[in-house]
Structure 1
Amino acid sequence: MNYKKILFALLLPLGSVAQKQPADYVNPLIGSAPSTTESAKKHSEAGSEMKGQIVPAIGVPQGMTSWTPQTRATELKCIPPFYYNDTKIQGFRGTHWMNGSCVQDYGSVTIMPMSGKLNVNTTDRGSDFDRKTETVKPSYYQVTLKKGNIKAEMTALSRAGFLQFNFSQNQENYIVVEPNSDEGEGFVEIHPEKNEIVGYNPVHRIYQGVGKPAGFSGYFVIQFDQTFTDFGVWKNNEINNKVTKAQGNGQKQTVGAYAQFGNKLVKVRIGTSFTSLEGARKNLEGEINHWDFSKTRQASNNAWNKALGKIEVKGSDYDKTLFYSALYHAKLTPRVFSDIDGTYTGFADDDNIYQAKGFDYYEDYNLWDTYRAVHPLHTLLEPKITADMMQSLVKKAEQGTWLPIFPCWNNYTAAMIGDHATAAIGDAYIKGIKGFDIKTAYQFMRKNAFEVNTDQKSYEEGKGRRALASYLQYNYIPLEDSVWQAFHKREQVSRTLEYAYDDFVLAQVAKKLGEKADYEALMKRSKNYQNVIDPQTGYARGRYANGTWIKTFDPFAQRSSFITEGSPAQYTFYVPQDVEGLIKHIGGEKCFIEKLDTLFDQGYYWHGNEPNNQIVYLYPFANQAWKTQEKVRQIIREEYDISAGGMSGNEDGGQMSAWLVFSMMGYYPVCPGTPNYIIGSPTFEETTLNLPNGKTFKIIAKGNSAKTPYIQSATLNGKPFTQNFLTHQQIMAGGILDLKMSSHKSL
C-alpha cells in the first residue's frame, strides 16, 4: 500500500474543528481491560475471555507491525504486551500480537526512554503514568512517563514506526532497545557512526511444534535523529559500556542496547521486516524517509479514515464510537507479512525467500473465528485486500503442500477445529472476488477434504484435516477417535458439524467450477450434521462408532468433551448451510423456536464465544424475524460498551467486533459461502456503504430509536421488499433499503 499517496487523500488537518472523521471516534482501548459487561459476568467460566486480550494497536489497517505501550515483557502464550489495569509502562513495543486472542506475540522489539540512572531491567525500568495524560488513537499514542517526566509519542505506517521522546530534565537521557526473546536468542548491534541500532528476535512456535524455531525472525533497524553521547549493550542486566554487539546464548538470556543523548527531543524511526535487516532498512526508507513526525501521523490517520470511511453512519456519538472502534478492531489481522518490495519468507518448512508479485502476502489468520464475519467484511469493503489474503493462502498451500487450517507465525497449526480456509476462500469466490488463483486453491481445498494425510510427522505438524479418516468412514467422528494430534483434542461432534459446513462451501465452489461429481459428493456430506444431532432430544450429542448415543448427557453443559468451547445446545444451531433441514430434523418450527428461546431466555446463550455468533439470526428461518430484531438490539447493549472492559469475549482476530459492525448496520452473514446476509435491526437511522465499485448502498431506518427495534415494512429501491435477507449482489448493485421501524412486533 502506498502511504505517500494516502497522505494527500484527505485534506482536513489534524486538530481541525471541522466535522469529526471516522478515526476520531475510535477508542483502541476497548477490550483491553477485564470484561465488565453484564453478559460476561454471567459466564465466569469463560477464562481468558474475562481478562481483556486487546492492545491499543497504533499503525495502519492490516499493518505488518503495530505499536503499543508495553506493560508485560513476555511473548508467552495468552499474555498480550498490554493490560489496561497495569500501572507501569516498560516501553513501547513494535508488536505482532493477534488482537484479542490467546496466542503469542512474536518477533517484537521494545524501546524505552529514561532519565538519570540507566536501568535496563525490564520490570525495574517501568514508569508510572497518568491516564489523564494519555492520548490513544489508531494513528497516535501519547503519554507522559512520571519517572523522569518524559513525554512519549508514537505513530506508525505498515512496516515502519516513528517515536519521539521529549526529555524534560537536564541530566543523562537514555533510550534502551530490547528484542523480547523469551528463549534468550535476541541480537542487537550498535552502529554509532550511523546513529543506528539494529537487531532481530527469532520466532518460535506454539501449538504444533511448540518451542521449535519458526524459521524466521523479527528484524528491526532503528535510526535516531542525532548522535550518541554514549552507548553500550547488556546481557542479563549486566551493562557493557562502549560494546557494540550482544547475542543471546539461547538460555533465556536477556540482551539489549542503549544510547545516551544530549538533546531533550529525540526522534526515533524504526523499520521492521520478517526477512532480513536489509528488508527492514528498505521498509523504513520506503515508508518513512524523513524526520517529520506529524507527516507520518497524518499519513497514518488518513489511512484509517480512508478505511473506516467506507461506511458512514448517522447516530449518536456513543454509537459511532462503538461502531468505528469495532471496525478498527476488525481491520488489524491478518497482517501484511511481505516487505515493501514483495519479498517474504517461505511458509512452514520452506526456507526460501519469495517475491509476491502483484499482491501483498498476509499472515496470522484466526480462521476458526474470522471466517464468520471478519473475512466477509473484508470481502464486502476491500476486494483487493481479500484477493491478496486468499492468494496468500494459496501460496502457503503450494509451499507447504497442504492448505493450512489456522496459519499463524507463518506456520501450520492445528490450533482449532474445522477447515475454514476453505470457508474463507469459498466465500470470496462465491461473492465474485477476483485476483487470486481459484483453480489452484480448489486443488488444495479438495485435497484437505478428500485425502487423509498418512504421513504421521507432517500430520502432527498440522497438515490435513484432523480425524478425516473417521469422518469419511462413519460420516461423523465417533467418540472412540480422540483426535490426539491436535491442540484441541476430542471435540468430535463440533468437528463433524464444522466439516459438514466446510463441505457445503466447497460444494458451492465445485459447482461454480463445473466439478459436478465433487459437488454431488460434497453436498451429500454436508448433511452429516444429521448424524450427530439426536432427533429424539433435538440436540447435538456424542455418538459411538456403533451408532449409539452417549448416555450421560446434559445439553447445557459447558464442558462436554465432544464439543468445542461451548455446550451441545449451542452447537445444535451450528448448521448454517441447512437451517431448514435442521428445523425438520429436530421436530419442526415449534421445537426449533422453543430451543432458541430456551438459550436466550434462560441465559444459556454465550455471545462471547464464536460458535454462538450466528444463533440470534436464525429466528427468521422459522418465521419469527421479530425475535432476531429484538434480541440483536439486546445483545449489542449487553455485550458491548465503549469502556476499556466493554467486550464480553475474546476478540479473536476481530470476530467479535466484526459481528458488531454487521449487526449495527442491520444484517449478518450467517452462512459464508452463500451470497446471503440475514436482516436484523439496524442501530443507526442511516448507514451508507461506499462500495469499492463506486456505488453506494444505503439503509434508512425511519423512526429508528432504542424503543423501535422492529421492522414493520421495507422497500428496496422503491419496491416492496419482503425477504428476510439481502444478497451480496443486491448490495453491490447499490441502492436504498428503506425500513419503517416500530415499537410493535411484526408477526
Structure 2
Amino acid sequence: MKHKYLSILVLFSIISLPVSAQKKKKDFTPFVNPFIGTGGHGHTYPGAVVPFGMVQLSPDTRLEGWDGTSGYHYTDTVVYGFSHTHLSGTGIADYCDVLFMPTTGDPKFQNTQYSSSFKKKNEQALPGYYKTKLEKYNIEVELTATKRVGVHRYTFPGSKQCNIIIDLKHRDEVLDSWIEVVNDHEIRGLRRSKSWADDQYVYFYAKFSKPFKTYGIALNDALQNGQSKVEGKNVKMYIQFDSPGEVISKVGISSVSTEGALKNLDTEVPDFDFKKVQKAAKTDWINELSKIEVESSNPVAMPLPQANNAQPGYGYGGYGGAPKPKTPVVDYAKMKQTIFYTALYHTMCAPNVYSDVDGQYRGLDQKTHKAEGFEYYTVFSLWDTYRAQHPLQTIINKKRTLDFIKSFLAMYDQANLLPIWPLASNETFCMVGNHSIPVIVDAYAKGIRDFDAEKAFTAMKAAVNRNQFGLESYRKNGAVLAADENESVSKTLEYAIDDWCIAQMAKMMNKPQDYAEYTRRGQYWKNVFDNQSGFMRARVNGGWATPFSPTDINDYYTEGNAWQYSFLVPQDVQGLIEHMGGKQNFEAKLDELFNTSEKLTGRQQSDVTGLIGQYAHGNEPSHHMAYLFNFTDAPYKTQLYLNRIMREEYKDKPDGLAGNEDCGQMSAWYVMSALGFYTIAPGQPDYLLGSPIFDKAVINLENGKKFTITGPGNSDASFYLQGMTLNKNPYGKLFISYNDIANGGDWEVFTGKLPNKLFMQELEKPVSKITDNLIVADPYIISPSAAIQGGSISISFGCADAETQIYYTLDGSTPSATSTLFTKPVMLSATTTVKCIAVKNGQSSFVVQGVFTKK
C-alpha cells in the first residue's frame, strides 16, 4: 500500500508539472555556425551573446574599413582584444566598447604592441560561447555571457607577469572616460564615445576571480603613478597577476551608472562559475531556437564546393578546429539546417536590451528613465527589419514585440519622435522612412495590443507630418521633388508605405477621416511612376530627371537604382500592375529584373550585392520581389526564383550572406522563405506563399499551439507546388492568413520537379490593391530641356493615370478645370512658368510646375 501511495504521488507530481518541464526542448544549437556572415560583407561577429542581450562579448580584429563595422572579419589573423558591445551586420561602425586583452610580460598600452596573432584552427564559436588562443602569449581565451554581463576565462602560461589590459580608447572617438580601482578584485569605470551614435555612455564594473598583485593606470599612454582613479580621453590600465593559472573576469555594463553595472553583475553572475554561465547561455539559445523545429530527411552526401573549405581551419558547423576532410563531401540536409538555424540565431542577436535589471536606462533625452513592466530595447535597424525581421518576431516572439513597441513609445516620450534608427541613447536618423510605423501596425493587426494605441497613432501622424527629410515636399507635391531632397524617389516610396500603414491603423481604430487621408497618401507612389519607361523616376522641373538609365545608382535612390525601386509598392501591387500595363507586362518586367545581363552603372555602392540580374538580394528593397509573381499568371516563378535565391545567396561558410546581415533582416528573409511564406506588406493579414524547403517544420507558438508544415519530397530539385492541404482539407490559395498560423494547425505541401501550371492557375491569388479614396496621379511635363535655346521649344504633357485630362497655364497662375486643356504640343519662346494638373472624374491631382528659361 505504501508503494502504491508513493506511485500515485509521483504520478500526480508529473501531471502537475508545467508543460515546459515535462518535455525537454530540442537542442538545435549544434546547427548554429556563428562564423556565417563574418566574412564577405556580412558584418556579423562570432562572439558570445544570449538572445537579444545587452552584452555582445567578441574579439576585435579590425579597427577600420567598411568590412570592419562589427569589429571582426574572418580573414583577419590579428586580435586586439575582446570588447563587450558589437553590432550585428550593420553598414556603419560603432560599439566595441571596453576592450579587455590578456598579455604576459611587461604591460604595453599601444594596441600594435599588445595585440596578438591567432590561428583559425584554434577558434571555436557556439551560441553563447567563443574560444581562441593568443599565439603571442600562449593564452587560451574563452568568452561567455548573460544578458548584461560578459564573462572571460583566461588560461595563462606559467609566467610571473600575467596582465589584463583594459583599453577605453579602443575604436571610436572618446568624449570622456575614467577608470577606478575599487580593491584588488574589482575595477569600475565609464567610456563615453562618439561615432555613429553621437554620445554613447557605457559604464562598467568588473570583478576578477583572483586578486591582482599590482596595477597601473595610464593617461595618454603615460602611467599615472600612485593614482587609483584617472579620467581623460585616452585612459588605459593594466592589472597584473603572479602566475595565476586561470583568471575569470566578469564585467557588467550599464548606460546609467557603475552602480547599475554592479547590480547587473551581481544579479546575473553572482559567482565565478564560468561553465554555469556558459550552460545557462546555451539553455537560453535552446529555448529560443526551439521555437521553430525543422527536419530534413535528405542525408545525401554531395560534393562540397571548394570555396566552403578553402579557408584554412574552417570547420563545419562553425566550431573551428576541424581538419579539412580528405573527401570534400557534406551532408546536404544538415547543411540546410545549419543555414536555417544560424539565420534564426542571427534574428535574435538584435535588437538589444538596454535597460538594467532594475529597469533603469538612459533615454534619447540623455536622462535616466525606468522601464516599468517591460524591457527597454535599442539597436533597431528599422529600414531593414520592418520587412521580415519584425514580422517574424510577431509570430514567434509576441511578448518581446510588445516590449519593442513600448520602447518605441518611450522614445517618442523622450524625443517627440518615433525611432528611425536608434542606437544606444541616440537617434542616428539613418536610412529613409519612418519604419517603426509598420512594425507597430503589423503587431496591432496580429493581435499584439497591450499598449497605448491612441498614443501610438498620435506618434505615427507626428512622425510623417514633421518637416524633415523631404516630408514637407512630399505632402505639398504628392512626391518628394529631387530639387528639395536627395534620394527623392526612395523617400517617396517608403513614405507612401508608412502612410498606408497609418491608414490600416486608422481603419482598425475606426478613424474614417484619417483612413481616407492616409489611404490617399499611400498612393503617392503613382507620382514618381513614369508610365513611358515603366520605372520609378525622380521628379525634376515638372518632368523626369534626365539622362536616365535604370541601372544607374545615383542620388535619386537610396542604395539602389530604378530597377531595385520600381517594384517597391507592396501596399498596392495590383495598382502597380495596372500602371505597368497589366499582368502580362508586369510578369515580363519581373522576368527582365531577374534575367537582364545589364550591369550596375553610376556611382559605386558597396551595399548593392547579391545580384541576380538587377535583383539585389544583398540589400533590402529587393527582398519582396520574387513573391510578386504570385500576382501574375505565372505564380510558379515565385517558387523558381525563391529556390535560386536560397541556393545562391546563403551558404554555410563565412561569406555565406549576400550582403550586410542588417540586424536580422537578411536572415529573417531566409527563415520565413524556408518555411514557405512571407509578408510583403506588414499590416496586411496574409502571407504570400513560396515553397517550404524542409520535410517538416513546427512553429511552437507562445499560446501553446503548434503550426506544422510538412512537405514530403521538398528539395532543391523539387520545389514547385503541386497541391496543398490545411488541417486535412484541400487548400487552394496562394496566401495563408496570420490567423491560420496563430491558431495552430497542419499545412501540408506537395512539390514536384516541374511546375504544375494548371494547379497554380486554379489557386486564389492574393490581394494587394488600394480601392478607396483613389487619387489622380500628378501629370508630368515632357520637354527637351529646361532651357529655351534659339527660337523656341515644344513641350507636351503626360500622366500615368489613363483617361485623365490635363489642364495648364503659362502665366504662373494655378490651373483648374477651366484652364487650357492640353490637346497638342505647346510652343515656348520666352521664359515661362508652366503649371499643370490632371483631372479625372472631377478629381484633380497636385499642381505640377516647371520653369523654362530663355537663354
Q: Give TM-score, length-normalised by structure 2.
A: 0.78
SS in 2 for 1:132: helix
Question: Are the equivalent residues in 1 in contact too, given 2:497–2:571 (CA < 8 A)?
Answer: yes
Say whether 1:102 aligns with 2:116: no
Stretches of structure 1 lacking an aligned partner (at least 5 in a row): 1-7, 14-18, 35-50, 454-464, 484-489
1:197, distance to aligned residue in structure 2 (A): 1.5
Say whether 1:265 aligns with 2:238: no
**1:517-559 Cα distance to aligned partner (Å, 9 max, x none):** 000111111111111111122111112352x2223111222x1
Q: Partners in 2 of 1:338 and 1:423 — Cα distance?
A: 24
State the partner residue of 1:552. 547
- The code of the aligned residue for 1:63 comes to G
**1:130-163 Cα distance to aligned partner (Å, 9 max, x none):** 2112210121111121122111111001101111
1:243, distance to aligned residue in structure 2 (A): 3.2
State the partner residue of 1:38. none
Q: In the alignment, which of 713, 719, 723 is matched to residue 709 of structure 1? A: 719
1:433, distance to aligned residue in structure 2 (A): 0.9
State the partner residue of 2:52. 62
Q: Partners in 1 of 2:59 and 2:525 — Cα distance?
A: 46
State the partner residue of 1:297. 278
Percent of aligned pairs with the same amino acid: 37
Number of residue pairs the alignment of both structures matches: 686
1:356, distance to aligned residue in structure 2 (A): 0.5
Question: Are the equivalent residues in 2 in contact too, given 1:227–1:261 (CA < 8 A)?
Answer: no
Say whether 1:584 aligns with 2:578: yes
- The code of the aligned residue for 2:487 comes to E
SS in 1 for 2:423: coil
- The code of the aligned residue for 2:678 comes to Y
- The code of the aligned residue for 1:531 comes to N
Seen in structure 2, the aligned counterparts of structure 1 residues 522 and 721 have a Cα distance that, compared at 3 Å, is same
Say whether 1:674 aligns with 2:688: no
State the partner residue of 2:790. none
SS in 2 for 1:653: coil
Q: In the alignment, which of 671, 696, 715 is matched to residue 706 of structure 2? A: 696
Question: Are the equivalent residues in 2 in contact too, given 1:10–1:302 (CA < 8 A)?
Answer: no
State the partner residue of 1:150. 139
Question: Are the equivalent residues in 2 in contact too, given 1:113–1:165 (CA < 8 A)?
Answer: yes
Larger radius of gyration: 2
Question: Are the equivalent residues in 1 in contact too, given 2:178–2:191 (CA < 8 A)?
Answer: no
**1:240-290 Cα distance to aligned partner (Å, 9 max, x none):** 455322222x4xx35334333432111111111111000000000110001
Q: In the alignment, which of 108, 123, 127 is matched to residue 119 of structure 1? A: 108
Q: In the alignment, which of 458, 471, 474 is matched to residue 471 of structure 1? A: 474
Seen in structure 2, the aligned counterparts of structure 1 residues 73 and 232 have a Cα distance that, compared at 3 Å, is farther
1:238, distance to aligned residue in structure 2 (A): 2.7
- The code of the aligned residue for 1:279 comes to G
Seen in structure 2, the aligned counterparts of structure 1 residues 443 and 333 have a Cα distance that, compared at 3 Å, is same
Q: Partners in 2 of 1:261 and 1:63 — Cα distance?
A: 34
Q: Partners in 1 of 2:67 and 2:615 — Cα distance?
A: 28
Question: Are the equivalent residues in 1 in contact too, given 2:104–2:163 (CA < 8 A)?
Answer: yes
Question: Are the equivalent residues in 1 in contact too, given 2:355–2:375 (CA < 8 A)?
Answer: yes
Seen in structure 2, the aligned counterparts of structure 1 residues 73 and 278 have a Cα distance that, compared at 3 Å, is farther
Q: Partners in 1 of 2:386 and 2:504 — Cα distance?
A: 16
Say whether 1:318 aligns with 2:318: no
Question: Are the equivalent residues in 2 in contact too, given 1:188–1:197 (CA < 8 A)?
Answer: no
Q: Partners in 1 of 2:462 and 2:195 — Cα distance?
A: 25
- The code of the aligned residue for 1:563 comes to Y
Question: Are the equivalent residues in 2 in contact too, given 1:405–1:419 (CA < 8 A)?
Answer: yes
Q: Partners in 1 of 2:752 and 2:67 — Cα distance?
A: 48
Question: Are the equivalent residues in 2 in contact too, given 1:479–1:492 (CA < 8 A)?
Answer: yes
Q: In the alignment, which of 60, 83, 92 is matched to residue 73 of structure 2? A: 83
For residues 225-374 of structure 1, the aligned pairs below 5 Å read 225-240=209-224, 242-248=226-232, 250=233, 253-315=234-296, 316-347=333-364, 350-374=365-389
Q: In the alignment, which of 424, 429, 432 is matched to residue 439 of structure 2? A: 424
Seen in structure 2, the aligned counterparts of structure 1 residues 75 and 743 have a Cα distance that, compared at 3 Å, is closer
For residues 724-743 of structure 1, the aligned pairs below 5 Å read 724-743=734-753
Q: Partners in 2 of 1:679 and 1:340 — Cα distance?
A: 41
- The code of the aligned residue for 2:505 comes to V
1:173, distance to aligned residue in structure 2 (A): 0.8
Q: In the alignment, which of 24, 28, 34 is matched to residue 22 of structure 1? A: 28
State the partner residue of 1:224. 208
SS in 2 for 1:577: helix
Question: Are the equivalent residues in 2 in contact too, given 1:99–1:332 (CA < 8 A)?
Answer: yes
Question: Are the equivalent residues in 2 in contact too, given 1:186–1:254 (CA < 8 A)?
Answer: no
Q: Partners in 2 of 1:245 and 1:629 — Cα distance?
A: 63
Q: Partners in 1 of 2:413 and 2:174 — Cα distance?
A: 33
State the partner residue of 2:301. none
Q: Partners in 1 of 2:377 and 2:69 — Cα distance?
A: 23
- The code of the aligned residue for 2:463 comes to N
Q: Partners in 1 of 2:283 and 2:411 — Cα distance?
A: 32
1:351, distance to aligned residue in structure 2 (A): 3.4
Q: In the alignment, which of 595, 612, 622 is matched to residue 612 of structure 1? A: 622
**1:51-104 Cα distance to aligned partner (Å, 9 max, x none):** 441111412111011110111356999633111111111111101x32111223
Question: Are the equivalent residues in 1 in contact too, given 2:163–2:238 (CA < 8 A)?
Answer: no
Q: Partners in 1 of 2:23 and 2:279 — Cα distance?
A: 10
- The code of the aligned residue for 1:504 comes to W
Stretches of structure 2 lacking an aligned partner (at least 5 in a row): 1-18, 297-332, 597-612, 758-855
State the partner residue of 1:594. 588
The 10-residue stretch of structure 1 (196-205 or 644-653) with the greater mean CA deviation from structure 2: 196-205
Question: Are the equivalent residues in 1 in contact too, given 2:149–2:269 (CA < 8 A)?
Answer: yes
Say whether 1:400 aligns with 2:415: yes
Q: Partners in 2 of 1:478 and 1:569 — Cα distance?
A: 19
1:188, distance to aligned residue in structure 2 (A): 4.1
Say whether 1:189 aligns with 2:151: no
Say whether 1:177 aligns with 2:161: no
Q: Partners in 2 of 1:566 and 1:361 — Cα distance?
A: 33
Q: Partners in 2 of 1:370 and 1:629 — Cα distance?
A: 23
State the partner residue of 2:82. 92
State the partner residue of 2:500. 504
The 10-residue stretch of structure 1 (68-77 or 615-624) with the greater mean CA deviation from structure 2: 68-77
State the partner residue of 1:132. 121
SS in 2 for 1:498: helix
Seen in structure 2, the aligned counterparts of structure 1 residues 21 and 588 have a Cα distance that, compared at 3 Å, is same
Say whether 1:543 aligns with 2:539: yes
Root-mean-square deviation over aligned CA pairs: 2.1
Q: In the alignment, which of 497, 509, 530 is matched to residue 513 of structure 1? A: 509
**1:554-573 Cα distance to aligned partner (Å, 9 max, x none):** 1222x132111111122110
SS in 2 for 1:433: coil
1:619, distance to aligned residue in structure 2 (A): 0.2
Question: Are the equivalent residues in 1 in contact too, given 2:176–2:193 (CA < 8 A)?
Answer: no
**1:704-729 Cα distance to aligned partner (Å, 9 max, x none):** 12210101010101111111111111
Question: Are the equivalent residues in 1 in contact too, given 2:360–2:371 (CA < 8 A)?
Answer: yes
Seen in structure 2, the aligned counterparts of structure 1 residues 443 and 640 have a Cα distance that, compared at 3 Å, is same
Q: Answer 1 or 2: higher relative contact order, Cα 8 Å, separation at least 6.
A: 1
**1:673-722 Cα distance to aligned partner (Å, 9 max, x none):** 11211111111111110011100001111221221010101010111111
1:407, distance to aligned residue in structure 2 (A): 1.9
1:342, distance to aligned residue in structure 2 (A): 0.3
Q: Partners in 1 of 2:142 and 2:176 — Cα distance?
A: 25
Q: Partners in 2 of 1:370 and 1:292 — Cα distance?
A: 36
Seen in structure 2, the aligned counterparts of structure 1 residues 266 and 188 have a Cα distance that, compared at 3 Å, is farther
